[in-house]
Structure formats: C-alpha cells, structure tokens
C-alpha cells in the first residue's frame, strides 16, 4: 500500500470513505462511483481499517 501522501481519498454516495493509491487512479476522479472495477479493487474501505484498530 502507498504511504499517506500518495493516496487519494474518495467518498461513495453513502458517505463511506475509501483510500486509493494515486498511481492506480486514472484521470480526475471525484467519487468512488467514477472508478473502474480494476481501480476499485486497489482501494481500501477506511471504515474497515478503523474496525481493525478500534473494533
């Protein structure tokens, strides 16, 4: 996984946040729905990350 400075943070329509490596995103993407299926596979659901630390 890329370091924090090399990530793009996107939200879906439900307000969930996803971290995606900037080099995996093609073009100017503003929301998760705009990602291709291949790009989505490279993203991490930040709520799942929080659950690992605090859940």
From first to last of the 55 residues of the chain, give the pLDDT tens digit: 556 668 888 888 888 888 888 887 777 766 778 888 888 888 888 887 766 666 5
* Three-state secondary structure call for residue 27: coil
The predicted pLDDT at position 52 comes to 62
Tell me the CA distances in angstroms from 2 to 13, 36, 42, 55, one per residue in order: 25, 19, 11, 24
Name 1's bridge partners. none
This model's pTM is above 0.75: no
Element containing residue 53 per DSSP (H, E): helix 46-54
Give CA–CA dist 55/32, Å, rounded. Answer: 24
């Amino acid at each position: 996984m890329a370091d924090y400075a090399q990530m793009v943070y996107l939200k879906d329509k439900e307000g969930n946040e996803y971290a995606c490596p900037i080099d995996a995103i093609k073009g100017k993407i503003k929301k998760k729905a705009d990602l291709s299926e291949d790009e989505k596979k490279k993203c991490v659901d930040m709520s799942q990350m929080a659950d690992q630390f605090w859940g």
